[in-house]
Amino acid sequence: MVDTLTIRRPDDWHLHFRDGDIMRGVVPYTARQFARAIVMPNLTPPVTSAAMAREYRERIRAAVPQGVSFEPLMTCYLTDTTDADDLARGAAEGVFTAAKMYPANATTNSASGVTDVEGIYPVFERMEAEDIVLCIHGEVVDADIDVFDREAEFIDRYLAGIAQTFPNLRIVFEHITTSDAVEFVKAGSEKIAATITPQHLHINRNAMLVGGIQPHNYCLPVAKRESHRLALRAAATSADPAIARKFFLGTDSAPHLRGDKESECGCAGIFGAPYALESYVTVFDEEEALDRFEAFASLNGPTFYKLPVNEETVTLERVAMPVPAELPLVGETIVPWHGGQMLGWRFVG
């Protein structure tokens, strides 16, 4: 039995840092485990220009602890009025690594998102020409679409069309939660990939709704039924490299204070950053796929994003590790993913 696992230092290809004191409080958790992270732009106001992203990047860099090497990779928040020239310039100057499309009102701070997907096709055309990665929150938000069906509906209504219209556009289908998404990504060209969160590998929707409402298991897209969770696990840990390389690590770590989760209108988002690698490696261990963990965590993402893999390594060890029920943040508390549970792996460094 393997008791320690050493892999190239991973990257987190999807997370939320917020801004200000919360950002300064959460960045060290990510910088401890990951070399780089794709930083979501859903601030208030959203990060819609290269100038805003440049300043935000500096604020994040200033929050990285002394002696720790960590690079934030910035994204542009797409709106109905995105300036494609500014986006292209920002990408050429190395400020933007990708652009993020939220359908308007799909999730936290997405009110300025895209209301008419085909309306921003000219921006996608430019992104395709400039080879800028498009990250997509794939949920239809119409009131008549059941919350559990929103991802599958998005594929049929929008994603298939985008992929067909822009065959050379690199697309990351973010935080996928369904077997429909797995099948879409598997069937797509090498330009289509997906991130998978730790929570969607660990829980199905019962974890949110059985035995009382569990706000700390609530995020968007919501966890789905068990068959979907199993499809995500099979994809992430697949022994077929042609399948496995299309899926990579993206925690969607989304900090909300305990009080904002345990509320009559609890926020969507799970704070996965502090024990992210322990959480993921547990899944690979359970699936007897520890030998495939490095590809998922450290190789597939950089390959898709056309970035170098990291040269440093990190080590995880098999040992019982209690996860704190809560962590201090900005004078209040936040519940981390797995808070109060025991994990069987520990991040050594």
Catalytic residue numbers read 252
137 is an interface residue for ligand DOR by CB under 6 A = yes
Please tell me the distance from the alpha carbon of residue 222 to that of residue 205, in angstroms, as a whole number: 7
- Closer by beta carbon to ligand DOR, 16 or else 36: 16
254 is an interface residue for ligand DOR by CB under 6 A = yes
Residue list 247-276, contact with Zn ion (CB under 5 A): 252
Is residue 192 within 8 A of residue 246, CB to CB? The reply is yes
Question: Could you write out the DSSP letters of every residue in 152-199?
Answer: HHHIIIIIHHHHHH-TT--EEE-S--SHHHHHHHHHS-TTEEEEE-HH
Chain-centre distance for alpha carbon 168: 22
- Closer by beta carbon to ligand DOR, 219 or else 232: 219
269 is an interface residue for ligand DOR by CB under 6 A = yes
42 is an interface residue for ligand DOR by CB under 6 A = yes
- Closer by beta carbon to ligand DOR, 209 or else 268: 268
Residue 323 φ then ψ, to 5°: -95, 130
Q: Output the smallest distance, CB 171 to Zn ion, in A.
A: 16
Tokens of 164: 């067909």
Residue list 4-33, contact with ligand DOR (CB under 6 A): 16
Long-range contacts from 110-118, C-beta under 8 angstroms, 24+ separation: 110/42, 110/137, 112/45, 112/46, 112/48, 112/77, 112/79, 113/77, 113/78, 113/79, 113/137, 114/78, 114/79, 114/80, 115/80, 116/80, 117/158, 117/162, 118/161
- Choosing from 76, 220, 231, 314, the residue that interacts with ligand DOR (CB under 6 A) is 220
Lay out the site mask for ligand DOR across 64-103 (x = CB under 6 A, - = otherwise). Answer: ----------------------------------------
Q: Output the smallest distance, CB 266 to ligand DOR, in A.
A: 11
- CB atoms under 10 Å from CB of 15, counted, come to 25
Tokens of 116: 């008419």
Is residue 345 within 8 A of residue 278, CB to CB? The reply is yes
108 is an interface residue for ligand DOR by CB under 6 A = yes
- Closer by beta carbon to ligand DOR, 40 or else 88: 40
Q: Output the smallest distance, CB 42 to ligand DOR, in A.
A: 5
| CA-closest candidate to residue 179, choices 203, 151, 211 | 151
107 is an interface residue for ligand DOR by CB under 6 A = yes
Q: Output the smallest distance, CB 218 to ligand DOR, in A.
A: 7
Sites of contact with Zn ion (CB under 5 A)? 252
Residues in contact with ligand DOR by the rule CB under 6 A: 16, 42, 107-108, 137, 219-220, 254, 268-269
